[in-house]
């Protein structure tokens, strides 16, 4: 699920990032978990939360967290880098609400029209069936819709900014590629991709096709196993299950990671998005 947080000029590139450092490092019962991705090229800003500078010179291509934040409302303001205070913000202040026990990624990125926007994604941390992994693809780039190919066959079709799609699959390796929607000629890949059991891998495409700076961010949420811990199997998909689990996020960036977009050959489940201005 995705909710648009804010869209307005350069400051929007970091609006989501502000809340990443606004809370305590240690989780308490009921805390929300928040990771933050800065996916707008060429913008470095300072971010203020409740009047305090919480992010200084926050740069593109950074994925932070997850951090534990008490449920509640956070007031965020965006200023030019190295501003003395938040008294004259370029953007904001605005309020952002986090629900108790929620797991989120706040992504500052470009919309399909190339303008900066910020989106709050809800991460699925339900337990994954034994012997399975989970893959979510999030299109957060200024680029047209794409198809994702596995072994030359489209397993994700017409994925457009800012939508996402999630698949549950057996662990293993699959040849993956990305093509313009409705075509099978790869623009990225093919490359062999290995998916892990008990892990939710989330891939973000960000940047701009027109500016030739498309990049990938990869977030992994681990520890979602259901006993038994591992069951071998061939590649294939199945519907998503449903209980909450623990999560640890990591990040990586490379063109090769784009092939993760096609790391499943089974049944896919589109997760449509909804917009709501706060």
157 and 253 in a single domain? The answer is yes
Domain final residue, candidates 75, 96, 122: 122
DSSP 8-state class, residue 177:
E
Mean pLDDT estimate for the chain: 72
Q: What is the residue range of 117's domain?
A: 2-122
208, with CB counted inside 10 A (0-12, 13-18, 19+), is middle
pTM assigned to the model: 0.71
107 and 137 in a single domain? The answer is no
* Rounded CA separation 173/200 (Å): 15
Closest CA to 98 of 65, 122, 77, 116: 122
137 and 267 in a single domain? The answer is yes
| Per-residue model confidence as pLDDT tens digits over 127-164 | 999 999 998 889 998 989 988 787 888 888 999 999 99
| Per-residue model confidence as pLDDT tens digits over 256-265 | 333 333 333 3
Q: How far is CA 138 from CA 34, 39, 47, 83, 165, in A?
A: 17, 12, 24, 33, 7
| Structural domain count of the chain | 2
Strands 215-221 and 62-69: unpaired
151 and 105 in a single domain? The answer is no
91 and 150 in a single domain? The answer is no
Q: pLDDT band for 92, please (50, 70, 90 cuts).
A: low
Domain final residue, candidates 103, 122, 141: 122
137 and 117 in a single domain? The answer is no
Q: How far is CA 131 from CA 174, 238, 243, in A?
A: 16, 11, 16
Domain final residue, candidates 88, 122, 156: 122
| Per-residue model confidence as pLDDT tens digits over 154-204 | 888 999 999 999 989 889 877 777 778 998 987 766 767 678 999 998 888
SS3 124: coil
Instruction: State the average pLDDT over residues 204-222.
Output: 85
């Amino acid at each position: 699920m995705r909710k648009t947080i804010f869209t307005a000029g350069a400051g929007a590139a970091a609006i989501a990032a502000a809340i990443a450092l606004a809370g305590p490092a240690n989780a308490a019962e009921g805390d929300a978990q928040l990771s933050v991705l800065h996916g707008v090229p060429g913008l470095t800003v300072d971010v203020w939360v409740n009047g305090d500078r919480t992010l200084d010179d926050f740069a593109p291509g950074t994925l932070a967290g997850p951090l534990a934040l008490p449920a509640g409302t956070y007031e965020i303001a965006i200023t030019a880098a190295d501003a003395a205070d938040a008294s004259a913000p370029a953007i904001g202040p605005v309020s952002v609400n986090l629900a108790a026990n929620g797991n989120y990624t706040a992504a500052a990125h470009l919309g399909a029209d190339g303008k900066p926007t910020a989106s709050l994604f809800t991460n699925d941390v339900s337990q994954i069936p034994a012997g399975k992994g989970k893959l979510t693809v999030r299109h957060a780039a200024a680029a047209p819709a794409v198809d994702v190919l596995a072994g030359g066959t489209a397993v994700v079709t017409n994925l457009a900014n800012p939508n996402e799609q999630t698949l549950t699959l057996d662990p293993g390796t699959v040849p993956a590629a990305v093509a313009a929607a409705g075509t099978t000629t790869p623009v990225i890949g093919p490359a062999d991709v290995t998916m892990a059991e008990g892990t939710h891998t989330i891939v973000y495409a960000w940047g701009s096709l027109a500016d030739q700076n498309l990049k990938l961010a990869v977030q992994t949420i681990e520890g979602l196993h259901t006993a038994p811990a591992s069951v071998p199997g061939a590649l294939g998909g199945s519907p998503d299950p449903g209980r909450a689990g623990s999560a640890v996020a990591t990040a990586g960036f490379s063109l090769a990671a784009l092939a993760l977009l096609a790391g499943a050959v089974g049944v896919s489940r589109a997760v449509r998005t909804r917009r709501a201005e706060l």
